[in-house]
Amino acid sequence: MSNYLEKIIGIIYRKRKGLAGSIAGLHPDEEALACFLEDRLSQADRLLIERHLVSCNSCAEYVGTQLKMESVSAKDVPEILLEKIKKLVINEDNTGLIEIFFKLKEKVIEIVQTSGDVLVGQELIPAPVLRSRRIKDFREEVVILKDLQSIRVEARLKNNNAKSFDLTVAARDKQSQKLIRDLRVTLLKGGLELESYASDDAGVIFRDILPGVYRAEVTRSGEKVAVVEIKAEV
């Protein structure tokens, strides 16, 4: 992954030194990203995507997987910039964050935005691909996953007829895929603790949560390992 990140940074830095800013709320689709990698975009469109990749972790990760190892060297990128963007994309400079914005409808969950990947049947779909396919509505329940260091965090959302939702948070070891049991998950709203439980064989379940803005903090042996930011609307 680190080689891929260096290549992303190299491409962006050489094409537009001093680049800053982002395109709020907009994400290029797979076709646009493919054209960017093949250098088939106009200068204006290329600049928009370059700006977006600097500020969007999920799109930068997606582009990274498409790069060929021999395509470009990042030796002329300043080391300070290289380390800064590496930390941004890998989430090393902050606790692993999963952002989820969704709407509750009658027996349907609409995913408006997420920084995690979504499990659709047996297929794990990365967030940028999900957007490009325009997949947003899920029947009653959806599972969002994100790899954070050595664990994979799972956030399961269940719609209770558009009035409330259940949230299940669990984590698995990425290598063994075994459920990690020595976790505690705390649900907060507005900085106030609502509920806190130790995980069992199903993880931690919070039931009948009303629409609103919440934060679920996942700790292990007293150390914070993940944060799930949730915004639910009807």
Instruction: Give the residue extent of every domain in the chain.
Output: 2-90, 96-233
- Residue bearing the bigger pLDDT, 12 or 221: 221
The answer to whether residues 147 and 163 touch, using CB atoms and an 8 Å cutoff, is no
Cα separation, 59 vs 33, whole angstroms: 9
pLDDT of residue 78: 55
121, 174, 187, 219 from 213: Cα distances, Å: 27, 29, 11, 20
pLDDT at 226 > cutoff 70: yes
| Neighbour-count burial for 146-177, b at 16+ CB within 10 Å, e otherwise | bebeebbbbbbbbbeeeebbebbbbbbeeeee
pLDDT value for 187:
95
Q: Please give the share of the chain, as a percent, with pLDDT higher than 90.
A: 26
Q: Which CATH class is domain 96-233?
A: mainly beta
Q: Which of residues 121 and 105 earns the better pLDDT score?
A: 105
Q: What pLDDT is attached to residue 53?
A: 79
Instruction: State yes or no: pLDDT of 14 exceeds 80.
Output: no
pLDDT at 68: 40
pLDDT winner (highest mean) among 127-136, 172-181, 203-212:
203-212
Mean pLDDT of 23-52: 74
pLDDT tens digits for range 114-147: 888 888 777 788 877 776 667 777 888 899 998 8
State how far the Cα of 139 lies from the Cα of 82, in Å rounded to an integer: 42
Average pLDDT score over residue span 161-172 = 92
Tally helices (H) and strands (E) across the chain.
Answer: 6, 13
At 71, is the secondary structure helix, strand, or coil?
coil
Q: What is the pLDDT of residues 61-99, one digit of tens each?
A: 667 666 543 344 444 555 665 565 555 554 444 457 888
The tokens for 54 are: 């600097």
